[in-house]
Amino acid sequence: MSELNGKVAVVTGGNSGIGYSTAKKFKEEGATVIIIGRSIEKINTAATQLSVKGVIADVSSLSAIDNAVNQIKSEFGNIDTLFVNAGVFTPVPVGQITEDMFDNLMNINFKGAIFTIEKFLPILNNGASIINLSSINAYTGMPNTAVYGASKAALNSYTRTAATELAPRKIRVNAVNPGPIATPIFSKTGMSEEQLKGMEEAMQNRIPLKRYGRPEEIAELVTFLASDKASFITGSEYNMDGGVNINPLLVG
């Protein structure tokens, strides 16, 4: 039986990577799916491929989120699942952090995530599920990720408090912390092909399972957390990292 039959699910950043794979899985499990993204072309292409609804919104803009919520409420009514997935990754070493880079990361990864939830709360059904996409970088101290990791650590802290405060409405709030996943997010950093290859080799050496994860694997966990099978799970974090976080010094 389909796990999300009859449910309405929203996925931010749903046009690629983990968001795209999760939207696909939600659809396969019977949900009515809406994907949100800031690129008209990419959202329209993904929505057509997935046969889902596409909505244009940049989550760093509160007015854009308002417009998306109003559009979804008008067309679909209330929703049952909110996957807060939109995010950006910009590697930069301490000592070279700029205000623009800081603001961009925090506006999308933290502020954008919080206000996505704030704006959608009025149209979330009681008993709904919110899943925040975080990262093991909230804990690893990986070089060049000081601001990115801080944005995800802040999101995890928010997740725990939101889970407590929304419990009276039976709304569950959980976070998923992926490790290295094979998605387009790394290619958007501006790093050269050689740099990307070097980073991939270095990261795989630290992964006990010796490979990157797949977006489809994250989608399986997110779908479980969205389903009634996870009805007693809230305020939790799930690491999906091939063992990186338990072996942070592993090499070779």
| Separation of alpha carbons 108 and 58, rounded Å | 8
Strand pairing of 8-12 and 32-37?
parallel
Has 238 been annotated as catalytic?
no
| Separation of alpha carbons 102 and 48, rounded Å | 34
Q: DSSP E strands: which ranges in the chain? A: 8-12, 32-37, 53-56, 79-84, 124-133, 172-178, 237-240
How is residue 173 written in tokens? Answer: 């709030």
| Separation of alpha carbons 77 and 128, rounded Å | 14
Q: Hunting for tokens 């696909």 — which residue is that?
A: 24
| CB environment 147-186: b (16+ within 10 A), e (fewer) | bbbbbbbbbbebbeebbeebeeeebbbbbbbbbbbebeeb
Helices 17-28/215-226 angle, 10° precision: 50
Length of the chain in terms of residues written: 252
How is residue 122 written in tokens? Answer: 């009025």
* Residue 213 DSSP code: B
DSSP bridge pairs for 181: 213
| Separation of alpha carbons 243 and 208, rounded Å | 6
**Residue 243: strand, helix, or coil:** coil
Q: Of 139, 148, 212, 238, which one is the catalytic site residue?
A: 148
* Residues labelled as active-site residues: 148
